[in-house]
Amino acid sequence: MDINEEPVNLKKLRTRLAESQGRQYWRSLEELADTEEFQEFLHREFPQQASEWTDRVSRRNFLKLMGASLALAGLTACSGQVPEKIVPYVEAPEEVVPGKPLFFATAMPLGGYATGVLVQSTLGRPTKIEGNPDHPASLGATDPFAQASILTLYDPDRSKTVINAGSVSSWEDFLDDLQPQLEQQRANSGAGLRILTETITSPTLTNQLETLLAEFPLATWHQYEPINRDNVYAGSQLAFGEPVEPIYRFDQADVILSLDADFLLTLPGRVRYARDFADKRRVDESEVSNLNRLYAIESTPTITGASADHRLPLKASQIEGFARAIARELGVAVASRDEAALESVPANWIAAIARDLQAHQGASIVITGDHQPPIVHALVHAINDALGNVGQTVIYTDPVASNPANQTESLAELVAAMRDGQVELLLILGGNPVFNAPADLNFIEALNQVNFRVRLGLYEDETSEHCQWHIPESHYLEAWSDARAYDGTATIMQPLIEPLYDSRSAHEMLAALLGQADRPGHDIVREYWTNQNNAAEDFDTFWQTSLHDGYIVDTAFAPKTVALQLGFDDQSSAETVTAGLEIIFRPDPSIWDGRFANSGWLQELPKPLTKLTWDNAALISPITAEKLGLANNDLVDLDYRDQIVKAPIWLMPGHANDSITVYLGYGRTRAGVVGTGTGFNAYMLRTVDTPWFGSGLNIRRTGKQYQLASTQHHHSLDGRDLLRVGTVEQFGADPNFVQELDSHTEEVSLYPKFEYSENAWGMAVDLNACNGCNACVMACQAENNIPIVGKSQVLNGREMHWIRLDRYYQGEPANPETYHQPVMCMHCENAPCEVVCPVGATLHDHEGLNVMVYNRCIGTRYCSNNCPYKVRRFNFLQYTDLDSESLKLQRNPNVSVRSRGVMEKCTYCVQRISAARITAKKEGREIRDGEVVTACQAACPTKAIVFGNINDPDSQVAKLKASPLNYGMLTELNTNPRTTYLAKLRNPNPELTEEGN
Amino acid sequence: MQAGRFKKSGQLESPAPILAPGYTYHSITEKISTIVLSKAAPKSWLLGLVISFMLLVVFLYSVGYLFMMGVGIWGINIPVGWGFAIISFVWWIGIGHAGTLISAILLLFRQNWRTSINRFAEAMTIFAVACAGLFPLIHMGRPWLAYYIFPYPNNLGLWPQFRSPLVWDAFAIGTYGTVSFIFWFVGLIPDLASLRDRAENKFVRYFYGLLALGWRGSAGHWHRFDTAYLLLAALATPLVVSVHSIVSFDFAISVIPGWHTTVFPPYFVAGAIFSGFAMVLTLLIPLRKIYKLEDFITMRHLDNMAKIMLATGLIVAYGYMTESFTAWYSGSLFERFWLFNRSFGPFGVVFWTLMLLNVVVPQALWSSRVRATPLLLFVISILINIGMWIERFVIIVVSLHRDYLPSSWGLYSGTIWDWLTFIGTIGLFLTLIFLFIRVLPMVSIFEMRHLLTETNNHEGTAISEEQPSTNVVETPTTGVAHGEGSLYGLMAEFNEAGDLLEKTRETYQAGYRKISAYSPFPIEGLSEAMGKRRTLLPLLVFLGGVAGALGAFFLQYYAAVIDYPLNVGGRPFNSWPSFIIITFEITILASAGVAALGMLLLNKLPMLYHPVFNAPRFKRASQDKFFLCIQTKDRKFDVAETRQFLESLQPTEIVMVEK
């Protein structure tokens, strides 16, 4: 550990200095060298950082969270003007006004699919992501991934320099090294050149790849992404003879049958789907006849299942049997298979569902998940066809992916080629195949056969480790690019900031292969669109408009007419093995395929149903767990196809019996200080032929325990009327049934009421709309500079989220009803917290906000004890990372950063209220309804959260509060909460409820 | 030895004495002061101090680490925001109840037996309150800003939030600590004078001399002392009741099931006395053994304390019943759940342990045989101490961990730092106790002397060890040479309190006015015998109290209504019911301050030099002898004539006192 032992490598130092942009200060040669030893030395120099936590496990976490970096690399953000012109979303002011944020439209790609976003830029640095109201996949809302992507931009662990064989190098050196390799490939027409990408929807990148393939005719472009749409394209191939992209119009559907599809959280277009779905469940003007009805048949419980009116757990392999039964019931000529699967389906279900679908021809949707095999997709296409839904609620277009080929096969081909020594130059653009390739491909071994391996990646990760060259990739907020949304709508992605580090975009990387090294991404993208813009229209106008709007008009794919090819059913379904348990692989609801593993926000985001943080688990139904003698936190060996992985057990009510779900993406070994070592790697069990589920899993107890950190330990309402639910029928019979639940509607007080003569801020949360997707939690964290605390602190109940999604179960654990309830500060008019604060650190302002005065808080925690809603959060330790320079750039300058010993809680985004007040004052008017939008409200895909002035009877929030469904939590305590809820209405099929389902 | 027991005949057996027979003023003084003044301390004391001090170091270390890291090193979380710190705070405050109860309430009830234990119990109170007071400070997230809780003028115009029970706490505990200290110190002054006069080492003499403030034990001193002491007792009495009531408001004012209970104030007070007496017993039983104080702290004391424990224990048990009944009878879902969860939830075992220790175990005290066995009493008292700590755990943790929203329910357990901090305060407490018994008399000497005159073994003839040599008149060697100018007065010495009273009366009747009488304990009627009027002290104390009350209420009103009105929880600006607590506390604090200061000032203390100290045998005035001095200032004074008059009073000795 002695830092003097290793002689300073002067050559390396010069390289570092040469490549650094901007002014770089260094204190010693050791520091400049940035060796591991020196980092260690720095940690020891600041022992207060090195030993914050007391126990060993959490201390490691501390190092992960806080000691991430002292950001020795000089930030290059200040190194001059952005050379390309980017276009703000709103009217551009003459110049940047300090303190006044600007918004720029761009898009966040995930799995290739773009979600349109508006990025808030504060003095030149992107600070917050909002949805783009004009973008079809967003409609102004976002998902948690988009919200959290801002943190990835500033992640101190992002790769900062070009690495060659583990040592710091430079782009120039890389080009020098690449040149002879390229010459060689050019000589043999690229026979040894392979390019591996993730799903590509970017027109520019596709064009570049095509150009490249034209130049190197024998080269091959492979695509692999662990969460792909292979089955969707294969299913439509089966049904229609060509791959198509199904797009659903939930706003037109009255009856929906979901066959293991989590369309609210994991399908491309999920944000739009969630909005459309919620719009059909709102109770407007006491009108309930138009409420849709959702049947969810699913293996792994999802928030889609939780939103369903009827939910049935069924093993993933049995979904096909169910689909066949429905199809046959609807008169589609398909064979009946796997009748045994239907034994667990209540007798009249299939008939009743079929009748309901039949009754809503052209206004129903049958949908299946991306992980169901092609035959199920084909069956669903046939059913939708039979119901006349095609062209109405189900629309087919050309595939959004530029190359809809089967990705698993594509990767297998690449591996075979590599193993045969055919590959000489491999370029891996993004992705992380070393980590997430199917285990049986043995990707690493094959990869090592390749002579020259180049990797472009955001992080120096598992794949980079096995490549000679690692080139830092620019974050989507740093680079020019383009991408298509779920419906094909293209967006030109403009950067919000010059790359923080010496990074390149995929476009620039490919340009280098095309002999156009150092061609700016801006020029590449612009050139492509210049060529596309054949219309007479002035290109500059087109460019400006497209950038401004965040999408290119009329780029959504046109509906496509396809003909169902009968006879697809002749191909038998693949799965026949039934022995043992079934294993199901799913993308993680927080860290997706593992790419977000190093995002502390997403790691600490409680997963929608399990409320687990920082880990994945083997999810198992309570009945199966009982059968196997397993309990929560039991560490088991998952033995599947000769691969063994240790995983902790988590009981998941409503899970299909005899199957186990594992979320992918965990168990990273080189994710960064936050993500490395969290959870177990489920990719180790995934094989080429069972990418999503398969049977034959064995479970063995190890006798050990592994502590999982869940943020909610009690799942029942315990007879309390905190969350109120009724049925449409009940509501129809007595619209005031929710009000009648309240025994204490009368407000009794010895004291006179305070008058709020101006604005009186209040919030209404529509439980009918809320599906528990977590976007609000993430948005709040990003907006309000909320720190993460680490697993050991979560275990101790110290998570800091200002808004939490309470999840309650009702009914049998085998298949319970699941409810979500967002709970943030209620801003009680008679706030119990305020009365007990000894120093007046929490008070009411003149508009009825319950405000926190951080500077005044001495941290007695009395307010939290006395809060019946337990929405206050306390900085038990110094949670906020005050040392990492790059993280400072992300913080919202309008929100105080809290230090240890201070209580905090939801403020109703008081900074946004202030901003609106200032604007209104300058314009000499009142604040308009809808002018103040809280962060959670803005992010909510379903518009479940409505905020506004309750003094104004015309405001949206006042109207909601006038609804007969409106109720307050714990009103009998006379707290008079400003946040109220709209009771949830379920719309069960009378045919099925009579049977007691 | 069995106290208060009926024989078969039904005749009441006479109770054990509160002071063993055979003591004189001198032997009492000697026995108690020797513990302090002897050069060598018992080995057990040294061992005890070393162990306690090591625990104190543990405390300092834990608090140091706490300040460095933050309260997150403890096991607290959301929903259980208060843990060991507040549990221990309430526990210590409870322990701090016995002292003032014994000193003040038993004094008012004229319970003689309190005399030999009150000093120790008071000291214990002060140290327990000191330990208690540390916790609210260190449990804060930002303890360096603790002063925000006090009203002080600042340029932000900000005031404490006077509706908060935590502010009430700060005032209540501050007042309680201060008044207890005043009461204790005032009671110590005559004994400090005894130690001053008995000390052989010069520095020790200076030390006690400074602390004694020049106490001479004159009739006037004693008169004002008695008045002040009685007033302080009267003022401290409501404090005993109020402090734990106010601590209970920390919980009762809240909305949390299990906290929001009206039975809390009386039940907390009873619990406090219960635990306070348990702690007194825990400490006194070994001490009386080590220091051989069985004659002073007799079985009668132990018996009485055991009975009080039994009585308060029953009140506490009744409190448990009432809170459970109320929870059930309320019909409230949350209250009923709390009741169920307390008994059968994750902390059910803790609750039943509490029931065992606090309700079942004390029932053994019905047996007089148990009460007469110090070892058993010692064990029971320790069990009760533990039980009371657990009670606070149940109240705080069990109520908080599952309140309204099941989604937010959690668990709680203390970390190593919680334990070290708590155990560390025991170290602090014991260190202070050990230092106290080495430095200050743990039994009130003057009150024991007084007791000697009142108990059956005095019979008016507490015999001085020296044989009275009647009328031995010592002629001052330098008398005439100094002349009357350097003479302060003539002083006669007596052996008996009764003599002094009688002779003083005679002197006054003989027309002498500038006379003073000195005694080692207060003698009733002595001041009146010299024609002294009633003291002004009660009036001053009343005025002090009125000023305190008005000032405190106005301060709160000004802060909350005039200077910086804020909407706090929808309460009116003038939330006068909330302001009553602090008004009450400041009333007591001001009155007590005036009583103590007034006593000293009216007695013209501190006055470290006084001519009477020149009298060679005047040291005995603080021990066992009685002196009468006629000053030269007296109009009737004439050296020869006055000496003659004094001789006629048959003193043991007459001296001329130089200025």
A820-842: per-residue pLDDT in tens?
A: 999 999 999 999 999 999 999 99
pTM value is: 0.88
Q: What residues are paired with B136 via a beta bridge?
A: none
pLDDT grade for A940, boundaries at 50, 70 and 90: very high
Residue A56 has pLDDT above 70, yes or no: no
Chain segment B122-148, per-residue pLDDT in tens: 999 999 999 999 999 999 999 999 999
Give the per-residue pLDDT at A470.
Answer: 93
Strand partners, A103: A120
CA of B348 vs chain A CAs: smallest distance (Å): 18
Q: Quote the CA–CA distance of A899 and B144 in Å, as a whole number.
A: 14
Q: Which of A292, A281, A283, A291 is nearest to A255 (CA)?
A: A292
Give DSSP secondary structure letters for A842-865: EEE-TTS-EEE-GGG-----HHHH
pLDDT score recorded for residue A536: 60
Interface test with B, best of A707, A721, A845, A860 (most B CBs within 10 A): A860
pLDDT score at B286: 92
Q: What is the number of H-type helices and E-type strands within chain A?
A: 34, 38
For residues A20 and B49, the model is more confident at: B49
* The predicted structure's pLDDT at residue B467: 45
Distance of alpha carbon A983 from the chain centroid:
27
pLDDT in tens, A234-270: 999 988 989 999 999 999 999 999 999 999 998 999 9
Under the banding of pLDDT at 50, 70 and 90, the label for residue A34 is low
Query: Which residues 973-992 of chain A have a CB within 8 Å of chain B?
Result: 973, 975-976
Out of A65-69, A324-328, A716-720, B190-194, pick the least confident. Answer: A65-69
Half-sphere exposure of B31 (CA within 13 A, CB side): 21
- Cα B659 to Cα B650: distance, rounded to the nearest angstrom: 24
Q: Is A385:A392 a contact under the CB 8 Å cutoff? A: no
* Minimum Cα–Cα distance from A974: chain B residue: B255
Closest CA of chain A from B92, distance in Å: 19
In Å, how far are B246, B259, B260 from B327, measured between CA atoms? 22, 11, 10
Q: Which helix (H) or strand (E) holds A352?
A: helix A349-359
What share of chain A in percent tops pLDDT 70?
Answer: 87
Among B66, B71, B78, B566, the strongest candidate for a mutation testing the A interface, having the largest count of A CBs within 10 A, is B78
Q: B560: which DSSP letter? A: I
Q: Say what the pLDDT of residue A11 is.
A: 59
* pLDDT for the residue numbered B379: 96
pLDDT for A533 equals 75
Cα gap B217→A721, rounded to integer Å: 72
Whether chain B has a CB inside 8 Å of the CB on A23: the answer is no
- Grade residue A578 by pLDDT with cuts at 50, 70 and 90: low
User: Which residues lie across from A661 on neighbouring strands?
Assistant: A584, A619
Tell me how many degrees the CA angle A860-A864-A865 measures, rounded to the nearest 5. Answer: 90
Cα nearest neighbour of B413 on chain A: A796
| CB proximity A717 to B under 8 Å | yes
> What pLDDT, on the 0 to 100 scale, is given for residue B499?
87
A830 touches B at CB < 8 Å: yes
Question: Concatenated DSSP letters for A313-342?
Answer: E--GGGHHHHHHHHHHHTT-------GGGG
**Nearest Cβ partner for B571 among A751, A793, A878:** A751
- Per the prediction, chain B carries an average pLDDT of 88
User: Which residue type does A975 have?
Assistant: T
Is the Cβ of A838 closer than 8 Å to some Cβ of chain B? yes
Residue A661 pLDDT class (50, 70, 90 cuts): very high
Q: Are B19 and B447 in contact (CB under 8 A)?
A: no
Closest alpha carbon to A630 in A616, A645, A651, A611: A651
Q: Which of A721, A796, A873 to mutate to test the interface with B (most CBs of B within 10 A)?
A: A796
Could you tell me where the DSSP H helices lie in A474-579? 506-513, 521-532, 539-549
A 749-768 residues with CB below 8 A of B?
749, 751-754
pLDDT of A49 higher than 50: no
Q: For chain A, how many residues are written? A: 997
Is cis: bond before A373, omega within 30 of 0?
A: no
> What integer pLDDT is reported at residue B463 of this predicted model?
45
pLDDT at A454: 93
| pLDDT interval class at A572 (50, 70, 90) | low
Between positions 30 and 49 of A, the ones with CB within 8 A of B are 48
Quick one: tokens of B391? 């009670």
Give Cα A113 to chain centroid, integer Å: 12
Q: Give residue for tokens 């148990």.
A: B370
A854 vs B: CB within 8 A: no
Cβ distance of B567 and A754 shorter than 8 Å: yes
**Contacting residues of A for B146, CB less than 8 Å apart:** 858
Q: Which residue of B has its CA nearest to A865?
A: B81
> How confident is the model over A858-884, as pLDDT tens digits?
999 999 999 999 999 999 999 999 988
Residues of A in contact with B567 (CB under 8 A): 754, 843-846
Contact A856 B143 (CB under 8 A): no
pLDDT at residue A971, rounded to an integer: 87
A858 and B149: CB-CB below 8 Å? yes
Q: How far is CA A213 from CA A184, A191, A217, A774, B331, in A?
A: 15, 11, 5, 42, 78
Interface size between A and B, measured as CB pairs under 8 A: 206
Q: Do B79 and A870 touch (CB under 8 A)?
A: yes
Query: What does DSSP assign to residue A619?
Result: E
Positions in chain B short of pLDDT 50? 1-12, 456-482
Rounded mean pLDDT of A199-226?
92
| Contact of A195 with A220, CB cutoff 8 Å | yes
Inter-chain residue contact B142 with A857, CB threshold 8 Å: yes
Query: What confidence category does residue A3 fall into, taking pLDDT thresholds of 50, 70 and 90?
Result: very low
Burial of B592 (0-12, 13-18, 19+ CB in 10 A): buried
Specify whether the CB–CB gap between A788 and A603 falls below 8 A: yes
Rounded to whole angstroms, how far apart are CA atoms A964 and A948? 19
pLDDT, tens digit (0-9, with 9 covering 90-100), for A601-619: 999 999 999 999 999 999 9
Contact A717, A610 (CB under 8 A): no
3-state secondary structure of A668: coil
Report the interhelical angle of B25-37 vs B445-454 (nearest 10°). 160
- Residues with Cβ < 8 Å from B255, sequence gap 6 or more? A832, A866, A868, A973, A975
Q: State the nearest Cα–Cα gap between A677 and chain B, in angstroms.
A: 24
Compute φ and ψ for B250, nearest 5 degrees: -50, -30
Distances (CA, A) of A515 to A377, A474, A508, A766, B37: 43, 20, 10, 56, 99
CB contact under 8 A, B71 and A804: no
Amino acid at position A359, single letter: A
Q: Does the pLDDT of residue A355 top 60, yes or no?
A: yes
d(CA A794, CA A778): 16
A796/B77 Cβ within 8 A: yes
Q: Which residues of B touch A832 (CB under 8 A)?
A: 254-255, 569
pLDDT score, position A51 = 39
Confidence of residue A69 (pLDDT cuts 50, 70, 90): very low
**Residues of chain A contacting B158 with CB distance shorter than 8 Å:** 839-840, 856
Look at residue A88 in the predicted model and tell me its pLDDT.
Answer: 63
**Which of B139, B158, B163 lies closest to A856 in CB terms?**
B158
Model ipTM?
A: 0.91
Mean pLDDT of A147-164: 92
Phi and psi at B33, nearest 5°, equal -75, -20
A852 contact residues in B (CB cutoff 8 A): none
Region A123-138: mean pLDDT is 90
Lowest mean pLDDT among A19-28, A68-77, A703-712, B111-120: A68-77
> In this complex, is the C-beta atom of A181 within 8 Å of any C-beta atom belonging to chain B?
no
User: First vs last Cα of chain B: how many Å apart?
Assistant: 53
**What's the average model confidence in pLDDT over A572-591?**
77
Disruptive mutation site among B61, B74, B255 for chain A (greatest number of A CBs within 10 Å)? B255
pLDDT of residue B589: 95
Helix (H, G, I), strand (E, B) or coil at A399: coil
> Which residue in A793, A834, A860 is closest to B140 by CB distance?
A860
Task: Count Cβ neighbours within 10 Å for each residue of A100-110 and write b for 16 or more, e otherwise.
Answer: ebbbbbbbbbb
* pLDDT for res A990: 87
Positive or negative: CA dihedral A912, A914, A917, A923: negative
CB < 8 Å & 24+ apart, contacts of B146-150: B146/A858, B148/A838, B148/A839, B148/A856, B148/A858, B149/A838, B149/A839, B149/A858
**DSSP H or E stretch at residue A55:** none
SS3 of A223, please? strand
Residue A29 has pLDDT above 80, yes or no: no
pLDDT score of A338? 67
Examine the pLDDT at A462 and tell me if it is beyond 70. yes
Residue A311's pLDDT band, with cuts at 50, 70 and 90, is very high
**Intra-chain end-to-end CA distance of chain A, in Å:** 66
Residue B626 buriedness (CB in 10 A; 0-12 / 13-18 / 19+) = buried
A336 φ, ψ to 5°? Answer: -100, 130
Using the predicted structure, report yes or no on whether residue A701 has a pLDDT greater than 60.
yes
Whether A277 has a pLDDT exceeding 50, the answer reads yes
CA-to-CA dists, residue A3 to A30, A47, A476, angstroms:
8, 17, 38
Residue with tokens 């959504």: A556
Low-confidence winner among A362-366, A700-704, B4-8, B609-613 (lowest mean pLDDT): B4-8
Q: How far apart are CA B604 and CA B599, in angstroms?
A: 8
CA distances, A778 to each of A644, A691, A893, B452 (Å): 34, 30, 18, 78
Chain center to CA of A755: 42
